[in-house]
Amino acid sequence: MRVLLAEDDALLGDGIRAGLKLADYAVDWVRDGEMAHLALRDNVYDACVLDLGLPRRDGLSVLKALRERGNALPVLILTARDTSTDKIAGLDSGADDYLTKPFDLAELQARLRALLRRAGGAAHPVLRHGEVVLDPADKRVTLRGRPVQLSAREYALLHDLLLHPRQTRSRAQLEESLYAWGEEAGSNTVEVYVHHLRRKLGADFIRTVRGFGYCLGGESP
């Protein structure tokens, strides 16, 4: 999952980015509102963590511009503004959730998981397809009840496919989900991870849609 983090505080931003990377998110970090606006305009993300008090362009302006473009990207606001008026303004401008500083990183991760789950149309916190179950809270994957060991990239690719169970995901979409700025994907990186997942989860678990990309195979119960 690829996340845009817009936070001007260097210490806080570095801590959030490190925590999200440990949770297997690909994180692009910008430190002002104008860069956030451009990043959201020119890149594809799964979610945005947006500070309101940004230099050059405030977070509410960034959020309003995003929604005016018809972009339904899940947005979690981070701010030191804790009055009801500020919260209402943020939510009415199109925010999906609101977290007041200071906060616990584990809560931020949990709120992001909930936003991504809802955006993918999943009501249950555990993602399931056939006999494969992925629990985002503890990053645990099982096949027929038995744990499956995955690398960080394999897990991220599986998570992406499970969050879009009825979609065919192109190679470009999967690469955008897996890699942040400065992390270059190899020419056949996605194909390699798909091969590894098929070997671990079953040859028919991921289906190749020729000329388009990949989707989940079989039927989900």
- pTM reported for the whole predicted model: 0.75
Q: Check: CB of residue 20 under 8 Å from CB of residue 26.
A: no
The Cα–Cα gap between 207 and 136 comes to 23
pLDDT at 220: 45
* Strand ranges (E), the chain: 2-6, 26-30, 47-51, 75-79, 97-100, 127-129, 132-135, 140-143, 146-147, 206-209, 213-216
pLDDT at 122: 63
What does pLDDT average to in each consecutive run of 10 residues of the chain (221 residues)? 94 95 91 96 93 93 94 91 77 88 92 85 78 90 95 92 90 87 73 95 93 81 40
Q: Where does residue 158 rank: exposed (0-12), middle (13-18), buried (19+ CB within 10 A)? A: buried
pLDDT at 123: 59
pLDDT at 186: 63
> What domains sit in the chain, N to C, each tagged with a CATH number?
2-119 (3.40.50.2300), 127-216 (1.10.10.10)
Tell how strand 127-129 and strand 26-30 pair up: unpaired
